[in-house]
Structure 1
Amino acid sequence: MKNSKESIIWLLPSIFILVILLMIGTCTPRINDKFLVVKVRRENLEIFEKIRGKAEAKDLIAIGIDIQMGIDEIYFKEGDKVKKGDIIIKFSDYKQNDVDNQMKDKKR
């Protein structure tokens, strides 16, 4: 009798654990064992997108003069970044004397 009680004490937890393991095994989804195998190859990826938009400057400064002058050189292209103090335009010297005289008259 002692032997059968001992057997039942070990048998019941073993059956309980077996039932739990079977339930876990049947309730979990099956993972498909088929894999897609692709050979690795080197290629260039383009990561740029063509997007239309409008960019505006943070600070706008109007550049203008009251005197007709020709422009000899422009030291930048559209889209270039310019900093404070950069020379951007060189005006012609053909009316420089007139400009100098007008500046002197305004200072008086």
Structure 2
Amino acid sequence: MSRPMVLVFLLLVLIITSQFEWKQQLVNDFETAPSISQKQQQISKREEAVKEKIILSQEKNIQRLNELVRSLREQLLQCRGNNDTINNSLTPLTENVNELERQHILED
């Protein structure tokens, strides 16, 4: 009779210890779950920071491009102004050349 009692006792001890191990595994799983979510939050925060940096750099590039466009427009206006003054100053010269050619033709 003592042998079956010892076997039952050992069986009970085995069951109890195995349940403690299961509970520890469950507790460890619950403990790691928040750390995983925290890691995911950190990763998402890093991704957001990178996205913000990209957006800021793109905004800076857009501002530079706008400044370049403004500068090129000013240069274009200056060139147009220069062309107008050259054309206006050349008009009397071409008229003089045409007049001289007419006189030359008339003389011949």
Which structure has more relative contact order (CA 8 Å, sep 6+)? It is 1
> TM tier, shorter chain?
under 0.3
Provide the TM-score with structure 2 as the length reference: 0.27
Taking structure 1 as the reference length, the TM-score comes to 0.27
Q: Which has the larger radius of gyration?
A: 2
